[in-house]
Amino acid sequence: EKRKKKKKKMVRGKIELKKIENANRLQVSFTNRRKVLMKKANDLSILCDADVALIELEGMSFSDLVSLESQLNDSLLSVKDQKVETSRLQEKIALEENQLLRKQVRDFV
């Protein structure tokens, strides 16, 4: 009886999450992880057809954050308004197409 040999998977060891004290290592790690995060956000946007936003808050004051929150709220309201307007336009177009088709059916009979 022959036994199949199991392939060993290459698995990265778990790393302990703690603050990096070395300034150079910290900057390199931050830069690399930010690039990966940006790529993942882009992938998510493409794969799921989603709007994705990343906001880096490093070095921002409280007043900057309040201003950013206000801008985001305004943008969100604008997007919601656009969706409502788009829905209304789609409904209007559908009704006009329906009326046109009904007229064509009446004229055909």
- Tens digit of pLDDT for each residue in 54-98? 888 778 888 988 898 899 899 888 888 888 888 889 999 999 999
Quote the pTM value.
Answer: 0.47
CB half-sphere exposure, 75, CA atoms < 13 A:
8
Q: Give 21's pLDDT tier (boundaries 50, 70, 90).
A: very high
- Position 6 scores a pLDDT of 64
